[in-house]
Amino acid sequence: MEAVVRLARTRFSPLIIVAGTIAILYGVRNITYAHPMYAPQMFQDFMTFAGSILIESLPFVLLGIFLSVAVQVWLPANVMTRLLPERGWLRRLYISCFGVFLPVCECGNLPLARGLIAGGLKPAESLTFLLAAPILNPITLITTHQAFPADIRILLARAFGALIIANIVGWIFSKHHKQEELLTLEFAAACAAPDPHTHGKVERSLQLFNKETAAILPALCIGAIIAGAVQVLVPRSVLLGVGGSATLSIIVMMTLAFVVAICSNVDAFFALAFSTTFSVGSIVSFLVFGPMIDIKMLSLMRTTYRPKVLMQVSLLVALMSLAIGLGVNYAF
């Protein structure tokens, strides 16, 4: 019991760090807003962007951590893997559809993917889930339809595009003979470590919650700060100046998706503002690429997958998102 109490006292330390970061960002921002001579407008904008990303992402990250703990501790051993088909491509197709039942945006899916790996999924299978889930979750699909009710092409292209990209990436990385080499050394060692099961489920849940928050929340802070800085430093006018070109508009919107790092549950309304000046294909590419790969997500994924893997995944997703955008522009 003493161990449980001790863990209960310490498990909030990463949360305190994040809460303190948010408080500092908004405190400094409010002071400089009330007294503009203390800081330039660019600095105030940085505080606003970084703080907004943290506040927007934190609830979903925590939800993902809770689900990850539930998968690892409270579900019977290997129940997820026992219910999946044995055939590789069909198994990954099932896994890519998990997001339909899990209304969590991309931030929360990372800790859940870590839990699925610890529960028996291969790293390539976890990548399939991680790429598809933020787009195929019901909230994202509903908000996409609400943002573009008169153009069903955008919703269909986004959903099927995510499904295709996730399964192709999963298939490519499933060919890697040593799956553990896709993971960071620290996370691979944690997954391989034997679980003595000497503690009760409550204590094990607290241990996992503390470990996951300690690994993921600092990365979330770093990702939010980098994303806020990039949004301030990259002139939006430069990105928007080539919106009329069929190909360049797609690249610009994908770059914008990478920079703004907005939640997949609401990014369709952000994209709606560009629908009158950018092509349909560029909007689709924005909605497909952003939830899979952005500054914030790469920072989070770095806690689990090796940098080389992330570079390869980013390149594959970018090329396929570009191809989908071009295909939509060509077909319509």
Mean pLDDT of 112-122: 84
Residues pairing with 102 in the sheet: none
Q: What is d(CA 179, CA 192) in angstroms, rounded to the nearest whole number?
A: 12
Q: What is d(CA 90, CA 31) in angstroms, rounded to the nearest whole number?
A: 55
Token pair belonging to 11: 């498990």
Where helices occur in 70-96 by DSSP H, the ranges are 79-82, 88-96
Say if residue 204's pLDDT is above 60. yes
Write down the pLDDT at residue 269: 83
Q: Give 311-329 pLDDT, tens digit per residue.
A: 999 999 999 999 999 999 8
**Helix or strand run (H / E) with residue 295:** helix 295-301
- The answer to whether 18 touches 221, Cβ cutoff 8 Å, is yes
**Rounded to an integer, what is the distance from CA 87 to the centroid of its chain?**
27
Token pair belonging to 201: 């489920």
Question: How is 120-186 classified by DSSP, letter by letter?
Answer: T--HHHHHHHHHHHHHHSHHHHHHHHHHSTT-HHHHHHHHHHHHHHHHHHHHHHHT-S-GGGGB-HH
**pLDDT tier, 189 (very low <50, low <70, confident <90, very high otherwise):** confident
Q: What is d(CA 162, CA 109) in angstroms, rounded to the nearest whole number?
A: 15
Which residues 6+ apart lie within 8 Å of 172 measured at CB? 316
Mean pLDDT, the chain, as a whole number? 79
The 10 Å CB-count burial string (b at 16+, else e) for 223-255 is bbbbbbebbbeeeeeebeeebeeeeebbbbbbb
* Entry pTM: 0.77
Q: What is d(CA 298, CA 170) in angstroms, rounded to the nearest whole number?
A: 17
Dihedral of the alpha carbons of 122, 288, 258, 108, in degrees to the nearest 10 = -50
Q: Give 123-169 pLDDT, tens digit per residue.
A: 999 999 999 998 998 888 988 998 899 889 999 999 999 999 999 99
